[in-house]
Amino acid sequence: MTDIKTLHDNFRRNFCGGRLILSHGICFKPTNEKAEILNKVRCFNNFTKVNVPYNEHDFGNFNHKEDKIYLNIDYYDKNYRFHSENLCN
């Protein structure tokens, strides 16, 4: 079984195997700026004990121009209605 950290890293780098959701603030940015932000998300690796205390690589933040950008990865069921049952084990 693949560990959570590896699953998070793979999704963040490729945006495959899940659903990518952007905030309204990012959605309304020009296309080239959205591309820059998504590239920074893909390359993000500044995980610390403060922002990821369980070393699962599920949260981070970085600066982009004058904005602070936050990334967060959550698990849901296949219909995206409930948290994954795997989180309850």
List the structure tokens of 37.
């932000």
Strand ranges for the chain from DSSP E: 59-64, 67-72
Return mean pLDDT, the chain.
87
Distance CA 7, CA 1 (A): 10
Residues 58-68: tens digit of each pLDDT: 999 999 999 99
Q: Which pLDDT belongs to residue 44?
A: 97
pLDDT tens-digit series, residues 19-36? 899 999 999 999 999 999
The total number of structural domains in the chain stands at 1
Q: What is the pLDDT of residues 66-78, one digit of tens each?
A: 999 999 998 776 7
0.85 exceeded by pTM: no
Q: Which domain holds residue 69?
A: 4-88
